[in-house]
Structure 1
């Protein structure tokens, strides 16, 4: 792997992991009242489009980062709906 790919994977890992604390807090407190439903819808739509973009370009860092981020944020969206 070249330096640029490694750099992309590290950046993708850090930004993706940043959603774990929010997801865990919602899970533990059983409350997502401070998380905007509309923001989650817009963000998940954008992440899905980034995922498609990465697949088209066949860029592993873009694909992995956005697949994981979409997964975590869909969980957050599910928790938002569940704990309404």
Structure 2
């Protein structure tokens, strides 16, 4: 069980890392300096982590990367929405 706690904490930290950028972009609607390619690669990576977690039935991996996928997809949506309004 201690190992899963470490997994949840690690996943939580990497998952919330995008929140400051997401909130700032949402608030300011300025996204021209943000790389969409980086977020697309990140989405691919966390999406594969979710699949890996499902195969291994590893809930810390599934949950934290699933949330990370949603947050990063939200950031990509905001980037597409506001890319011409800067």
Where do 1:14-33 residues align within 5 Å?
A: 14-33=13-32
Post-superposition Cα deviations, 1:29-75, rounded to whole Å, max 9, x if no partner, equal 10111110111111111111111000110001100111010000000
Counterpart of 1:35 in 2: which secondary structure? coil
Q: Which residue is equivalent to 1:41?
A: 40
Q: Which residue is equivalent to 1:78?
A: 77
Q: Which runs of 5+ in 1 are unaligned?
A: none
Counterpart of 2:34 in 1: which secondary structure? coil
Q: Distance in 1 between matches of 2:39 and 2:15?
A: 15
Runs of 4+ with deviation above 3 angstroms? none
Q: Which runs of 5+ in 2 are unaligned?
A: none
Number of residue pairs matched by the alignment: 83
Q: Which residue is equivalent to 2:60?
A: 61
TM-score by length of 2: 0.92
Counterpart of 1:73 in 2: which secondary structure? helix
Say what the alpha-carbon RMSD is for the aligned residues: 0.8
